Amino acid sequence: MFHETTARTRAPMNDVKTATLRARAMRSARRAAGTPTRPCLARRVAAAAASSAAAAAAQQAPGKLRELRPAIKHKREGRVQTENGAVTYYREYGNPSGAPVLVVHGGPGAGCFPNHARFFDPEFYRIVLADQRGCGLSRPRAQEGNLRHNNLDALVDDFETLRKHLDIDRWMLFGGSFGTTLSLAYASSHPSRVWAMVLRGVCLLRKEELDWLYRDGTHGGGAGALFPQNWLKFVSQLPPDMRDDPVAGYRNMLSGAYGQAARDAAAGAWLAWGMAVGGGLPGVDSGVLRFDKKQMQDAARDARVVPARSASAASTAVSGEVPSYVAQATLENWYVACDGFVRDHPLLDRITDQMREEIPVIAIHGRNDFVCPVRNAYSLAEAWPESDVRVIAGAAHSMYDPAIRNELLEATDEMTKYFK
């Protein structure tokens, strides 16, 4: 099932509230009309008709977006040995006897943070936060030389090793951005081990998605067309002869072949580009988007064009453990360069009848998400018609976007009814 809330821009808080209230009204209307919360594809038209009337009535209703739950301390932490010498770090929060949920972070390589535990009722959930292979407090951190063992299948296997280590029978997956990719991959490999999924910012790692974010700007399109200043900074970090294919260019820079300083600068520039796009369009609050020649010149001047490779630079390529941000940039670039490891077996093709029948899914997607375009949410709804896909007007990519945060909190509460 797919539905999209409608509101104006995110600027006035009332409009964000309206979007959220409309989403609630749609769900209430379906229940009031006797329509299942997760209807099949054939029943979506009837559900949409009931939802439209309720949404119109909700526009003037009072309401308040929810804040994160209070911070809590973790109950325990540990490490588990996985394949090829990797070690996965994890922490547990909440009720040790509660409904298990695994937070599947994005990036890849972004790692988990204590705030992630605040999206759940700690009395109901046993909350597991795990840093994926090569990032955060897991070891070794990703860098040139150990990437060949870092792929989607390896991450799925790491989670299965962790599940067995924690003596968990079935868990809910709470994945965002790349975390939705990994959640879908895990669920398709181990459907009987997943009792529910809450997804945010649907990422399918299709070639057109990756090109939109990292390549099409070279030809004046993609996300670079929406963020031209940031795109200029992004490509200007590369030598001119590498700019036709920024993914390959950054692959060279992040390898350390041009020295540690150049590698670290490239990592910062790679992540800065993703953060700029993830934050949504600038100027939306005022309704005015301003670009001027001086800003464009400053963008080019601030970028650091690296020198040609030298023997002395290569000798200082990697000294000691890489910083976490370098590991994240390296992993993101690696997965993009490898087409997400899904080219031969696309994620949507992995969805089985068992998954559709047994795993309830709520997917939250911002209408103004330019990292993972909203068409991804449509694609998921078509491939998995029983899923509850909610597109939030005015919202962007971040899980901390007020409207996205609100819907995620609602979703984790709703999912409690499915745990047995």
Whether 43 shows a pLDDT value over 80: the answer reads no
DSSP calls for 12-57? SHHHHHHHHHHHHHHHHHHHHTT--SS--GGGHHHHHHHHHHHHHH
Answer yes or no: 211 catalytic.
no
Q: Count CB-CB contacts under 10 A for residue 11.
A: 14
Q: Which residues pair with 132 in a beta bridge?
A: none
Checking if the pLDDT of 179 tops 70, the result is yes
**CB neighbours of 281 closer than 8 A, spacing ≥ 6?**
226, 227, 289, 368, 370
Cβ partners under 8 Å of residue 348, min gap 6: 204, 379, 380, 383
Residue 371 has a pLDDT of 97
State residue 76 phi and psi, 5-degree precision: -160, 165
pLDDT band of 36, cuts 50, 70, 90 = very low
Domain range spanning residue 274? Answer: 220-341
Statement: residue 333 has pLDDT above 90: yes
What mean pLDDT is predicted for residues 358-379?
97
Query: Measuring CA to CA, which residue among 205, 197, 90, 198 is closest to residue 138?
Result: 90
pLDDT value for 8: 27
The answer to whether residues 125 and 180 belong to one domain is yes
Mean per-residue pLDDT, 252-257: 94
Cβ-contact 5, 22 below 8 angstroms: yes
Summarize the confidence of residues 188-211 as an average pLDDT. 97
pTM of this structure: 0.80
User: What's the rounded Cα separation, in Å, for the pair 345 and 324?
Assistant: 30
18 within domain boundaries: no
Digit-coded pLDDT (tens) for 180-191: 999 999 999 999
What is the pLDDT at residue 282? 59
* Reported confidence tier of residue 1, pLDDT bands at 50, 70, 90: confident
Domain assignment present for residue 85? The answer is: yes
Rounded CA-CA distance 156/102 in Å is: 12
Strand partners of residue 90: 78, 130
Q: Give the least confident one: 62-76, 322-336, 379-393.
A: 62-76
If asked whether residues 351 and 336 sit together in one domain, one would say: no
The answer to whether the beta carbons of residues 158 and 131 sit under 8 Å apart is no
Q: Give the pLDDT score at 145.
A: 83
- Residue 332 and residue 106 in contact, taking contact as beta carbons nearer than 8 Å: no
**Boundary-marking domain end, from 320, 341, 362:** 341
**Number of independent structural domains in the chain:** 2
Through-space distance between the first and last CA atoms of the chain, rounded to whole angstroms: 24
Burial call 165-193: b when 16+ CB within 10 Å, e when fewer: ebeeebbbbbbbbbbbbbbbbbbbbebeb
My answer on whether 332 and 402 are in the same domain is: no
Query: What band does 144 get if pLDDT is binned at 50, 70 and 90?
Result: confident
Could you tell me which of 291, 309, 293, 290 has the C-alpha nearest to residue 301? 293
* Better-predicted residue by pLDDT, 223 or 313: 223
Please say whether the beta carbons of 88 and 140 come within 8 A: no
**Confidence bin at 47 (pLDDT 50/70/90):** very low
Instruction: Return the percentage of the chain with pLDDT > 90, whole number.
Output: 72
In a shared domain, residues 193 and 271:
no
Burial of 233 (0-12, 13-18, 19+ CB in 10 A): buried
| Structural domain includes residue 41 | no
For residue 26, give both structure tokens.
Answer: 């749609």
> Do residues 105 and 183 share a domain?
yes
**For 224-249, what is the mean pLDDT?**
95
Query: Of residues 51, 177, 183, 387, which has the active-site annotation?
Result: 177
Is there a single domain that holds both residue 94 and residue 153?
A: yes
pLDDT of residue 3: 67
**pLDDT tens-digit series, residues 255-277:** 999 999 999 999 999 999 999 99
Distance CA 127, CA 173 (A): 10
The one catalytic residue in 369, 388, 398, 401 is 369
User: If you write DSSP's letter for every residue of 302-321 in order, what string do you get?
Assistant: HS-PPPPP-HHHHHTS--SS
**Is there a domain that residue 82 lies in?**
yes
87 and 136 inside one domain: yes
Is a pLDDT exceeding 90 seen at residue 285?
Answer: no
- Assess whether 313 and 378 both reside in one domain: no
Domain termination site, one of 279, 312, 341: 341
Quick one: average pLDDT of 71-81?
Answer: 97
Asked if residue 183 and residue 112 are part of one domain, the reply reads yes
pLDDT at 320: 72
If asked whether residues 237 and 306 sit together in one domain, one would say yes
Rounded average pLDDT over 278-290: 54
Question: What pLDDT is attached to residue 2?
Answer: 67
- Residue 34 falls inside a structural domain: no
285 is catalytic: no
In Å, what is the CA distance from 204 to each residue of 121, 176, 181, 208, 330?
Answer: 29, 11, 6, 10, 19
Respond yes or no: is residue 177 known to be catalytic: yes
Q: For residue 231, what pLDDT is reported?
A: 96
Three-class SS of residue 390? strand
Query: What pLDDT was estimated at residue 62?
Result: 45
Average pLDDT in the chain: 83
Q: Do 326 and 364 fall into the same domain?
A: no
149 neighbors 173 (Cβ within 8 angstroms)? no
d(CA 390, CA 409): 13
What CATH number has the domain bearing residue 155?
Answer: 3.40.50.1820
